[in-house]
Amino acid sequence: MKKFHGALHRRKTIEELSDKFILESIESVTYRLEDLHVYKEMFQQLEAKGLIVTGDFEDFLWSTKGESNNFLLQFDCEIYGEINQALKCYSVQKMYNGIKTQTVRHNIGQIKEAIRNADAYCDLCANYNTKVANVRKLPNFHDILLFDIALDEYFKTCTSDEDRLRYYPIFLWWRITRIIPMRPVEFYSLSRDCTMKDTEDRYWMVLPRRKNSSRHLGKIEVTGTVQVNQEVFELIKDYKRLTSAYVNDSPYLISYKAYRKYVKIKSKEKAREKMGATQFINLIDRFYDEIVTRKYGDLERIKPGDTRHFAFCNMMLQGFNMLTIARMGGHSQLETQLHYHKHLDHFAQSFVHHAAQVLRMKRKNLWRINWDNATQGIIAKSRIYQISDFQETYKVEHGYCTDHPSRCQVGDCRFCEFYFFSPEDKQKGLAWLKDCSDALESRLKEQLELIRYVTKSINYDFATLTYQQTGQERLSSASNELRRLMDQKAMVDSYLLEDEL
């Protein structure tokens, strides 16, 4: 397998397991002066292999062996002292990792150019007011869930094709772009023939994305075709059937003419070939005004671009690596998606809180799809289970187990669906739950930081569009552990929520 060079790591072979497999240790490299002897030893090994032809470590000029000819590495930043020495160590580590000397020379040139222009760049920036980039503020998670419920309920209760067609573009947008991180303009530009089924009964969607013409180092070729499930395929097929009378010569999936049939505007809008941002925002607002607000009151409204953020966060929490996410999301550089990492904590916390609410209401036999404004009042007056409601119970810490302990697969009662919280001392019981909830909160934060770290540490090869398998395995394991912690905290918090009523 080719060496990766997306990030700087130190690799060491621990054991050769077979002719094909080796056990390696991989660590992220941070330059430290006390490690200088390590880099000098690497330099000597590169000399022994013939990769460094002439020059000592202390020299400012090294001759290195390339594929067809030699390349000179020049370290002429002595004015910056330690930076020049760090640059030598950087170059040695790169070459030691198997990176081509031509690539190393290119990297050194870029770094030196940045160093030499640093002062001029800072002087230039000082003439302008700096604007702090704000992270997109996503709507309240509870309001997002109510929108989801309202949309599902509307389409489940539609009695005619006319009613379905009225808001079908929103339904497609909600179902597709929460899974595939598409920009709104990409959704509006989907081709009418954007889906297909192959000979192996797999379903695919073609996205309206321009391929990168540049294959320079650091640029990623985004994918234009992604696999989708049968539900998405059938939804698009149904929408195409309903809009067949409005198609004419338009090549786009979302029908502007079908949209105009239901919209009422004072001034005559010019005919368009496809729906745009203004029309789609108008459609979302009408759905809120006519459907959502009438049932749930004024909610924080979702914007067309929000679902792209939902999709990115979901993929990150599920353990997708940065290269896969970048190609799916249409990013030509990995660094672009780091912006979305800032949403992960809020997204995870919101998920846990919602899951706790669902568990609590299911336990009280109250969960209903029609979650209206009177829900809190209903809950407050609801019948609370008594221990006599269960056929078999076993005394455990601060409550009872409603299943036989011999069948226990959880270990801690606080994480188990068969646990019935009924403490003899309520304050001690609540403190016991709260301590666990706080500990899980800390572990969740640590796990999210681990996911961020592992995500950034994976090596990627942009030329072959491959990634370090051991890094992906670590990321998958970390994501599985995160979901386990989220499930545990949701269960514990569901008992604490009962005490709030």
Q: Give tens-digit pLDDT for 322-332.
A: 888 888 887 77
Alpha helices in 211-341 (DSSP H): 230-242, 256-262, 277-287, 293-296, 306-317, 322-329
Mean pLDDT of 208-232: 71
The one-letter amino acid code at 437 reads S
Looking at per-residue pLDDT, the higher value among 455 and 176 belongs to 176
- Candidates 301, 328, 335, 333; CA nearest to 312 is 328
| Residue-averaged pLDDT of the chain | 80
- Give me 342's structure tokens: 């800032």
8 A C-beta contact, residue 255 and residue 246: yes
Task: Indicate if the pLDDT at residue 121 is higher than 80.
Answer: no
Q: Which H/E stretch holds residue 90?
A: helix 82-96
C-alpha atoms less than 13 angstroms from C-alpha of 319 in its C-beta half-sphere:
15
Q: What is the pLDDT of residue 195?
A: 93
pLDDT in tens, 90-109: 999 888 888 888 888 888 88
Q: How far apart are CA 436 and CA 107, in angstroms?
A: 49
Contacts (Cβ under 8 Å, ≥6 apart) of 150: 291, 292, 295, 296
The most confident of the ranges 42-51, 268-277, 393-402 is 42-51
pLDDT in tens, 154-202: 999 988 989 999 999 999 999 999 888 888 999 999 999 999 999 999 9
Q: What is the pLDDT of residue 285?
A: 93
> How many distinct helices (H) and strands (E) make up the chain?
17, 13
- Candidates 303, 299, 292; CA nearest to 174 is 303
The three-state DSSP-derived secondary structure of 341-361 is: HHHHHHHHHHHHHHHHHHHHH
- Candidates 87, 113, 112, 124; CA nearest to 8 is 87
pLDDT in tens, 481-496: 998 898 889 888 888 8
8 A C-beta contact, residue 250 and residue 192: yes
pLDDT band at residue 79 using 50, 70 and 90 as cut-offs:
low
8 A C-beta contact, residue 286 and residue 320: no
Helix (H, G, I), strand (E, B) or coil at 136: coil
Q: How far apart are CA 340 and CA 66, in angstroms?
A: 39
The one-letter amino acid code at 218 reads G
8 A C-beta contact, residue 8 and residue 94: yes
What is the b/e burial string over 464-497, where b = at least 16 CB atoms within 10 angstroms of the residue's CB?
A: eeebbeebbebbeebbeebeebbebbbbbbbbbb
8 A C-beta contact, residue 285 and residue 316: no
8 A C-beta contact, residue 317 and residue 344: yes
Q: What is the pLDDT of residue 126?
A: 59
Sign of CA dihedral 477, 479, 485, 491: negative
8 A C-beta contact, residue 379 and residue 361: yes
Helix (H, G, I), strand (E, B) or coil at 109: helix
Task: Indicate if the pLDDT at residue 411 is higher than 90.
Answer: no
- pTM here is 0.63
Helix (H, G, I), strand (E, B) or coil at 399: strand
Contacts (Cβ under 8 Å, ≥6 apart) of 275: 169, 188, 252, 254, 255, 256, 259
- Give me 486's structure tokens: 């989220």
- Candidates 179, 169, 146; CA nearest to 300 is 146
Reported residue count of the chain is 501
**How open is the CA angle 330-331-334, to the nearest 5 degrees?**
145
Q: Where are the beta strands (DSSP E) in 48-122?
A: 52-54, 61-65, 70-74
Q: How far apart are CA 71 and CA 82, in angstroms?
A: 24
Q: Strand pairing partners for 225?
A: 206
Q: What percentage of residues in the chain have a pLDDT greater than 70?
A: 81
Q: What is the pLDDT of residue 373?
A: 36
Cα-Cα end-to-end distance for the chain: 59
Task: Indicate if the pLDDT at residue 388 is higher than 70.
Answer: no
Q: What is the pLDDT of residue 311?
A: 87
C-alpha atoms less than 13 angstroms from C-alpha of 12 in its C-beta half-sphere:
8
Residue in the structure block whose two tokens are 């188990």: 416
Q: How far apart are CA 365 and CA 418, in angstroms?
A: 14
